[in-house]
Amino acid sequence: MTALPRPIDVLPHRPPFLFVDEVTALEPGRSATGLWRLSGDEWFYPGHFPGRPTLPGVLMCEAIAQLGAVAVLTSAEQTGRLPLFGGLDGARFRRQVVPGDVLTLEVELGRMSARAGKGHGRASVDGQTACECDLMFVLV
């Protein structure tokens, strides 16, 4: 069995903007599953919101996109490329994510070309959907 990559070894993102802590399953160029463990010490919680810390929904979408980038960049055809957001559709937020939660991230890649692609992602806590969205990205 091949070892799963560390997100920091695949992605160009760095703390405090690296949101995928661990890749738990990977099918390069097709899908990935990963985790983001929220300790409560993250930079955004003090201001979002004081007294009721809540993970911003757009950061859940970013975490899904980062996991999608792991799936893209581990594909032999895309090594060395940089996937950038091209669009975000159908984002829905269903549950609050708070300090101490572990966010399970899942992404399935759809249509891919040499220059762009699509994917669908989901973020959940204990099996409850927190966020779902459709991603479009360009490869540079």
User: In this predicted structure, what is the pLDDT of residue 14?
Assistant: 97
Position 30 in a domain: yes
- b/e 80-98 (16+ beta carbons within 10 angstroms → b): ebebeeeebeebebeeebe
- Residues 6+ positions from 56 with CB-CB distance below 8 Å: 44, 48
Query: Which residues participate in catalysis according to the annotation?
Result: 48
pLDDT in tens, 63-97: 999 999 999 999 988 988 999 999 999 999 999 99
Position 55 in a domain: yes
CATH at 125: 3.10.129.10
Position 2 in a domain: no
Q: Report the number of distinct structural domains present in the chain.
A: 1
Which residues of the chain register pLDDT less than 50?
Answer: none
User: In this predicted structure, what is the pLDDT of residue 1?
Assistant: 58
User: In this predicted structure, what is the pLDDT of residue 114?
Assistant: 87
117 is in which domain, residue-wise? 7-139
Position 1 in a domain: no
The strand ranges marked E within the chain are: 22-27, 31-37, 83-93, 102-112, 116-125, 128-139
